[in-house]
Structure 1
Amino acid sequence: MNNPRPAILVAFIVLIAGVLLTKLFLIQVADDSFLKRAERNAIQRVVDHPYRGLVYDRNDKLLVYNNPVFDLMIIPKEFTVKDTAKFCQLFKIEKEELIDKYQAARKYSWVKPSPLMKAISNAEFARIQDFLIDYPGLFVMTRSVRAYPQASAANALGYIGEISGNQLKADSTRYYRQGDYVGLAGLERYYEDDLRGKKGVKYKMVNVRGIDKGSFKGGEYDTLSLAGKNIQSTIDLELQLYGEKLMAGKRGSVVAIEPKTGEILSMISAPSYDPNILAGSRFGKNYGVLTMDETKPLFNRPIMAMYPPGSIFKVVQSLIGLQEGVLQTNTVFSCNQALVKCHPHPNPTNLFGAIKYSCNPYYHQAYRKMINREVSSNTFKDTQIGLDQWRESVMKFGLGQTLGIDMNNEKGGSIPSSALYNRIYGEGRWKYSTIYSLSIGQGEMLVTPLQMANLAAIFANKGWYYPPHLVKTIDGERANIPEKFRTKVEVGIDAHHFDMVHDAMNEALMGTANRAIIKDIAIAGKTGTAQNPAGADHSVFVAFAPKEDPQIAIAVYVENSGFGGRAAASTASLMIEKYLRGHITRPALEDYVLAGKFLY
């Protein structure tokens, strides 16, 4: 009898072999997942960060460009180092920092790259690049940081920095990743979507030591990065530099606007800082130093500082009174100093004289006439109604609200309402004598320097303005800037009311700001002295020039410098001459401003 056991054994072996061959076929031919896993172990995905768009001034002078830097990346699975002390010496990194970065990278991913050293300069990269081949798991990724050919306009331009965790969570587009740079302030932040460009991706083959062996599949899956759009700002660099020179050693701000367009010619916040110190690897350390500086160089005074407007507000009062018919050009009030203090001038005076001589008692009486209109038999109710109607007229001038400049963190100031006084004093427990300080731009009223410069533009334009902005074109086209900056805003005052106001503002310089007078250039201006309970008053001045065809409107605040006809008017006058003539003809006045001894 034949033994069947060999046949069964053979059949079993054939069956097992068939199963194994079938499985092998599925793995190698039908299922490519194992191939993909193998490829992933040998493929390195490198993000190609785009260059941010460049920023130019209005005359095509470069303000911001890109400086290439390098990030040293680490892949924990592949990284090995035999002599830690030598590694730290070569790469100039502390042992504790190396351990912390390695552990953080492992926590993030065992196989994905994480930054070990950021923003390495060109010189430093040249020094270390030959050592990289000796350390598997290290490679360099190129990116760029901002650089500034002139240490100017820092608060307007802003800065970029590494994106925060909160910003990553808020990124609904999922464009950003940890370690990316993003605009954090100024134009860099507001126009981030235009400036940032579009990322690309490159896939590289690497060997077991992490050495680059060329592109994966000839670059079939690579995508190119697209550089960000270039921006032409409205800033006049020469005027900006000159204004910063004049404001050196002082606290305050200067805002100059081209009235016909709303384009900001100069925006100065003093004191400021060199924008280059917030670029690259120095950002964290230097930012900390700036935030601790008691002079607050990061505080953007033109859009964030709020002060009483002082006597400059008398021009707004005059225009509202004229428009509502409460005042006429020949309306006369006496300079009754029993009502409020004033300085010597012809008495009594009409509205023209009130503007020219900045008469406080005149506006005390004129404002009372505007507020107490006898529209109600109840005195308190009458004052309340009049105040709220007046407030509506004032807010049409862009006060008491943000103007919507192309910067973040703009403050809107404050134009008080009856609701505010009801909260402070109780309903029915306040009247005109409580709020009369508003008549001369004091009290609870607050404005920003930007709003004051915009007022000067409104005066120049005889009743309208374009919202102030810092960008002239994006990618070479004015049509690319936000539409609101191309939309005219009317303030509700008939143009003919401004004729007398222009003449009065021109003559006002002879009495209150004769330092501001420029031979052969007619300036219309108004001084102010903003009260400061914490020290010396702030010097304020607004103006536009030339009077008949305004090319520049300006507001200057110099803190703790007293009367507006000194520090602020002198500074504004020099800025106007610099812009219109291109040079200064009054070196003595320039020396006076540079010295800064305004209270003596």
Structure 2
Amino acid sequence: MNSFFQRKYIIQGIILIVALTLIARLFYLQIIDDSYLLSANNNVLRKVIEYPARGIILDRNGKILVQNEPVYDLMVIPKEAKNIDTLLLCNLLGIDKEGFEKRMKKAREHSPYRASIFEKLIPKETFAVLQEHMDKFNGFYTVDRNIRTYPDSIAAQFLGYIQEVNEKDIERSNGFYRAGDYIGASGVERSYEELLRGTRGVKNLMVDALNRPQGSFMNGKYDTLAVAGEGLISSLDKDLQILAEKLMRNKSGSIVAIEPSTGEILVYVSSPSYNPNLMVGRERGNNYMKLLRDPNKPMFNRPIQASYPPGSAFKVIAALTAQQAGVINAKTTFFCPGGYYVNGAKMRCTHVDGTTDLVKSIQNSCNTYYGYVYARMLESRGMPPYKAYELWRESLMKFGLGNPLGIDLPGEKGGNIYPAEYYTKRFRSNKWASSFNISLSIGQGELGITPLQMANVMAIVANRGYYYRPHLIKGIGQKKIVKKEFTEKIWAGVDAQYYEPVIEGMSRAVSSGTAAGARIPGIEMCGKTGTVQNPHGENHSVFFAFAPRENPKIAIAVFVENAGYGGTWAAPIASMIVEKYIRDTISMSKHVQDRIMNTNILPFKKKSTPEVKKTDKQDNNSKKDSTTANKQVAYQENKESNILVHHSQVRKNYAQ
């Protein structure tokens, strides 16, 4: 009897254990493990992400700079990828068996039951053939995407590029981005990412066992539509940009041109540049690495990240700030014996100007005049020179130097204007004076500015005392919204009355002075050349200007690295751009245009197509014209490269 009851309890226990096991298993499968649910749903229902079209970018006249081109991602659900024609799929995609296995392994690691990308950015030509055979590839389907395309292959540093998101991008977006999404990585693509990207949509599709679409689920009741990104209207003039890039071909440097009345940037050139179409498609990664390894640094954004001494063009700012400080006026004269030699400082001119006033000092770019101006700024204001230096520095910063201007691009640098503490530490005393760093008086020494900043200085001079923050996007969306910060007028700290003698000097510099080669018949352009010392090689060629004198339409800064005289390279380039913008024509001789466009002065020469051979007569004429131009510039323009500033001798004299 006892044996019967014992067996009864054992049998009941076994049944109970089995029942509990089944219940636990069912709970796990239905509640915790969703793999079967996913597999079942994927057999009848597929959620397909609809990616929005990224906003297009137009130039100021409505011409296309960036648009979209359709491509396709091939998705795979590994658990369903059975009995497929592997060889056919590999042939269609242009991959081998090893590549197929590698992609499948990665997809399984992501999830055997969830879709992931098998092959991305398939061009429309390949997709057309692939689509005919999709019934042979169980577990595979395609998703529509868009990539950027650049019809004219220009303005790469301005436009920027997009790239696939990484984990940090996903984390920072609070879940907006998912693996496989794309995000703006540089340029306006990055600055205006939240506007350009749009909003994803989801389409619920019914599919059969053979992976064939059977229509929308519930007639699209639960679908959400993708919303295209906002379009942008840039401030660039496309035709002017194309010309500027041609003029800077095979040269290092930059061009920035601004409309003074608005702060809108008309031209934005960083050279050498690259074809932005290289940064899209399946070869993007390889192209990116090649560009990074290029010794000419085509991805370096020179207009906002390169810092140069401004050279003689700085004399414009020096003249304005000195007048505002009350240490000189339009009639102040200094005698130039061919150089500035005061208290041990040595700073030569290439010519003897004699008695020189403010207008003449700008016209002839007199180094001596600005040596005296700087000395007065530091030593005639009733305070120790190091304190007066700080006032001088503050006046420069009001012109937008020393700090980023706030352009709508990432990565802008502020240039460099050292505080007084730097020189106190360098000279081991705060009793230093103007002779210790006299090279600052003519834009040399430790001064560093970006091309954008100097173009903005020209806009300030054109406006007689104020500027609008430089920007590259003049309108957002259909309503053409302008950001508030780009409509604010910013005063540069110098009263309007002090600009006229400086502008007169700049006008004479172009009409009969150091920039005479940039003269445009019928247009009064006001400009200033510079030949900037470069301790690493040939001097930099610099020219800054605005035009016309009354009601200015354009302010421009041109830096050509390692090119020598400002009047030989930078000034003609600026002249052609200015005339093209104002008149839509170029009157400069074809010979000069060809010289500018075809000469290769890159430090690391690029391979190019063979040049057309010149006849002996053409070659002799070319040499003759070049020699004459160089002689004229050498006579008219100050050679900052010959300036000798003997800080060590000054410190020795001071110690004695």
TM-score where L is the length of structure 1: 0.91
Q: 1:328 to 1:225 in 2, by over 3 A?
A: same
Amino acid in structure 1 at the alignment position of 2:597? L
Q: 1:482 to 1:423 in 2, by over 3 A?
A: farther
Give the distance between the partners of 1:122 and 1:40, measured in 2 at CA. Answer: 26
Residue pair 1:78, 1:210 contacting (<8 A) in 2 also? no
**Among candidates 400, 408, 411, match of residue 409 of structure 1:** 411
- Return the offset for 1:563: 1.3
- Return the offset for 1:433: 2.2
For the pair 1:362 / 2:369, whether they are aligned, the reply is yes
Deviates more, 1:269-278 or 1:59-68: 269-278
Alignment correspondent of 1:210:
211
For the pair 1:54 / 2:56, whether they are aligned, the reply is yes
- Return the offset for 1:447: 0.5
Alignment deviations for residues 245-303 of structure 1 (CA, whole Å, 9 cap, x no partner) = 11111111111110000000111111111111212222112111111111111111111
Q: Alignment partner of 2:261: what SS?
A: coil
Alignment deviations for residues 107-158 of structure 1 (CA, whole Å, 9 cap, x no partner) = 1112111111111111111122222211111100011001111121111111
Q: 1:422 to 1:205 in 2, by over 3 A?
A: farther
Q: Alignment partner of 2:355: what SS?
A: coil
Give the distance between the partners of 1:416 and 1:594, measured in 2 at CA. Answer: 37
- Return the offset for 1:557: 0.5
Amino acid in structure 2 at the alignment position of 1:346? D
Alignment correspondent of 2:160:
158
Give the distance between the partners of 1:446 and 1:165, measured in 2 at CA. Answer: 37
Amino acid in structure 1 at the alignment position of 2:180? G
Give the distance between the partners of 1:421 and 1:167, measured in 2 at CA. Answer: 42
Residue pair 2:379, 2:433 contacting (<8 A) in 1 also? no
Q: 1:125 to 1:36 in 2, by over 3 A?
A: closer
Deviates more, 1:344-353 or 1:304-313: 344-353
- Return the offset for 1:512: 0.3
Residue pair 2:64, 2:151 contacting (<8 A) in 1 also? yes
Q: Alignment partner of 2:573: what SS?
A: helix
Residue pair 2:92, 2:126 contacting (<8 A) in 1 also? no
Amino acid in structure 2 at the alignment position of 1:574? M
Alignment correspondent of 1:349:
356
Alignment deviations for residues 294-334 of structure 1 (CA, whole Å, 9 cap, x no partner) = 11111111111110010111110110110111111111112
Alignment correspondent of 2:616:
none
Give the distance between the partners of 2:230 and 2:72, measured in 1 at CA. Answer: 23
- Return the offset for 1:86: 4.4
Alignment correspondent of 1:68:
70
For the pair 1:428 / 2:430, whether they are aligned, the reply is yes
Alignment deviations for residues 160-179 of structure 1 (CA, whole Å, 9 cap, x no partner) = 1211222222223x211111
**Among candidates 440, 450, 453, match of residue 451 of structure 1:** 453
Give the distance between the partners of 1:324 and 1:245, measured in 2 at CA. Answer: 43
Residue pair 1:161, 1:182 contacting (<8 A) in 2 also? yes
Alignment deviations for residues 17-67 of structure 1 (CA, whole Å, 9 cap, x no partner) = xx9xxx9xx99xxx9x99976546632211100001111111111111110
Residue pair 2:358, 2:501 contacting (<8 A) in 1 also? no
Residue pair 2:467, 2:490 contacting (<8 A) in 1 also? yes
Deviates more, 1:255-264 or 1:507-516: 507-516
Amino acid in structure 2 at the alignment position of 1:562? G
Residue pair 1:232, 1:476 contacting (<8 A) in 2 also? no
Amino acid in structure 2 at the alignment position of 1:444? E
- Return the offset for 1:499: 1.1
1:26-175 to 2 correspondences below 5 Å: 38-39=40-41, 42-81=44-83, 84-172=86-174, 174-175=175-176
- Return the offset for 1:374: 5.1
Q: Alignment partner of 2:228: what SS?
A: coil
TM-score where L is the length of structure 2: 0.83
Alignment correspondent of 2:385:
383
Q: 1:95 to 1:36 in 2, by over 3 A?
A: closer
- Return the offset for 1:77: 1.1
Give the distance between the partners of 1:136 and 1:316, measured in 2 at CA. Answer: 71
Alignment deviations for residues 485-540 of structure 1 (CA, whole Å, 9 cap, x no partner) = 11111111111111111111000121201111111100000011111000000000
- Return the offset for 1:547: 0.6
Amino acid in structure 2 at the alignment position of 1:353? K
Alignment correspondent of 1:592:
595
Alignment correspondent of 2:260:
259
Alignment correspondent of 1:489:
490
**Among candidates 522, 526, 529, match of residue 527 of structure 1:** 529
Residue pair 2:418, 2:446 contacting (<8 A) in 1 also? yes
Residue pair 1:133, 1:211 contacting (<8 A) in 2 also? yes
Alignment correspondent of 1:3:
none
RMSD across aligned positions (CA)? 2.6
Q: Alignment partner of 2:312: what SS?
A: helix
Give the distance between the partners of 2:218 and 2:166, measured in 1 at CA. Answer: 35
Deviates more, 1:469-478 or 1:567-576: 469-478
Give the distance between the partners of 1:477 and 1:446, measured in 2 at CA. Answer: 39
- Return the offset for 1:85: 4.1
Give the distance between the partners of 1:374 and 1:247, measured in 2 at CA. Answer: 44
Alignment correspondent of 2:271:
270
Give the distance between the partners of 1:335 and 1:219, measured in 2 at CA. Answer: 84
Give the distance between the partners of 1:565 and 1:405, measured in 2 at CA. Answer: 29
Amino acid in structure 2 at the alignment position of 1:575? I
Give the distance between the partners of 1:222 and 1:577, measured in 2 at CA. Answer: 55
1:564-579 to 2 correspondences below 5 Å: 564-579=566-581
Where structure 2 has 5 or more consecutive residues not aligned to the other structure, the ranges are 1-11, 602-625, 631-656
For the pair 1:371 / 2:375, whether they are aligned, the reply is no
- Return the offset for 1:431: 3.4
Deviates more, 1:35-44 or 1:580-589: 35-44
Give the distance between the partners of 1:177 and 1:433, measured in 2 at CA. Answer: 60
Give the distance between the partners of 2:147 and 2:188, measured in 1 at CA. Answer: 15
Q: Alignment partner of 2:356: what SS?
A: coil
- Return the offset for 1:87: 3.6
Where structure 1 has 5 or more consecutive residues not aligned to the other structure, the ranges are 1-11, 377-381
Alignment correspondent of 2:3:
none
Give the distance between the partners of 2:86 and 2:203, measured in 1 at CA. Answer: 31
- Return the offset for 1:81: 4.5
- Return the offset for 1:345: 4.5
Q: Alignment partner of 2:171: what SS?
A: helix
Q: Alignment partner of 2:283: what SS?
A: helix
Give the distance between the partners of 2:491 and 2:299, measured in 1 at CA. Answer: 33
Alignment correspondent of 2:441:
439
Give the distance between the partners of 1:228 and 1:280, measured in 2 at CA. Answer: 20
Give the distance between the partners of 2:278 and 2:508, measured in 1 at CA. Answer: 46
Residue pair 2:72, 2:122 contacting (<8 A) in 1 also? yes
Give the distance between the partners of 1:494 and 1:212, measured in 2 at CA. Answer: 72
Alignment correspondent of 2:611:
none
Give the distance between the partners of 1:549 and 1:292, measured in 2 at CA. Answer: 45
- Return the offset for 1:397: 0.4
For the pair 1:180 / 2:187, whether they are aligned, the reply is no
Alignment correspondent of 1:379:
none
Alignment deviations for residues 320-356 of structure 1 (CA, whole Å, 9 cap, x no partner) = 1101111111111121423411021431211111111
Alignment deviations for residues 169-209 of structure 1 (CA, whole Å, 9 cap, x no partner) = 2223x211111111111111111111111111111223344
- Return the offset for 1:427: 4.0
- What is the total number of aligned residue pairs between the two structures? 573
Give the distance between the partners of 1:345 and 1:94, measured in 2 at CA. Answer: 76
Residue pair 1:81, 1:87 contacting (<8 A) in 2 also? no
Give the distance between the partners of 1:138 and 1:83, measured in 2 at CA. Answer: 12
Q: 1:272 to 1:230 in 2, by over 3 A?
A: same
Q: Alignment partner of 1:541: what SS?
A: strand
Give the distance between the partners of 2:229 and 2:381, measured in 1 at CA. Answer: 60
- Over the matched positions of the two proteins, sequence identity in percent amounts to 44
Residue pair 1:306, 1:413 contacting (<8 A) in 2 also? yes
Alignment correspondent of 1:227:
228
